[in-house]
Amino acid sequence: MSTAPPPFPTPQEPVDHLELLQLGTAVEAAEPCLRADAARNRARLLEAAGRLVAERGAEAVTMEAVAAEARVGKGTVFRRFGDRTGLLTALLDHSEKKFQAAFLGGPPPLGPGAPPVDRLRAFGCAMLRRSADDLELQLAAEPCAPRRFTNPARGVLRHHVVMLLRQAVPDADCELLSHTLMGQLDPALIHHLTKQRGLPMTRLEDAWIDLVDRVTGTAPTR
């Protein structure tokens, strides 16, 4: 398990990352301000869902099961999250925000202050470790095909890769290249390689570093 980064540090990225912060908060901005009791109820439901994931796995997280675990009516869960996908997405939201905080304003090499290639290496390795921790939940909350590349949280991650690529290889088509790199961090691929083929996570991390070095024409500092 990787150490959780400190929540919500002040971002230190260049102006490019103002776009990322807007993307990352788009869902929250669309929600009405919650009353204190409603916020507590939401947290209680998420805690119940988190317990179910920890004890029985993501497949056990249904609206009915969460309602029973939290000892509320099923309608309360539907009113708060809409459907099961909304509930699973909300469960991932906390770790997503912590990860965004880490690469936007955390310590280097993942955060600002390191060369862009070092940050790309650190970003991919951190993504792989995060996926290993939340893999079942990430797969369960995977957006449908039409929303796969328009999901706001995924957009934040890809735009960060684009920014680092523009600094490292400014002559490349960084928009398309970012999709290529992000493909190696896809949760479904990570599941296939680690769970179905039994590859160790260290091999995936080494492969990520090798890919970044080949794309940017650099070699890691030993």
Q: How confident is the prediction along the chain (222 residues), in pLDDT tens digits per residue?
A: 444 433 333 334 443 444 344 333 433 444 555 577 777 888 889 888 888 888 888 888 889 999 999 988 888 899 888 888 888 888 888 778 889 999 999 999 999 999 999 999 999 999 999 988 888 888 888 877 777 788 788 889 999 999 999 999 999 999 999 999 999 999 999 999 999 999 999 999 999 999 999 999 986 555
Q: What is the pLDDT of residue 9?
A: 37
- DSSP-derived secondary structure for the chain: -PPPPPSSPPP---GGGHHHHHHHTHHHHHSPPPPHHHHHHHHHHHHHHHHHHHHH-GGG--HHHHHHHHTS-HHHHHHHHSSHHHHHHHHHHHHHHHHHHHHHHSSTTTSTTS-HHHHHHHHHHHHHHHHHHHHHHHHHTPPPGGGTTT-HHHHHHHHHHHHHHHHH-TTS-HHHHHHHHHHTT-HHHHHIIIIIS---HHHHHHHHHHHHHHHHT-----
Q: What is the pLDDT of residue 114?
A: 97
- Domains annotated for the chain, with CATH where assigned, are 20-30+91-216 (1.10.357)
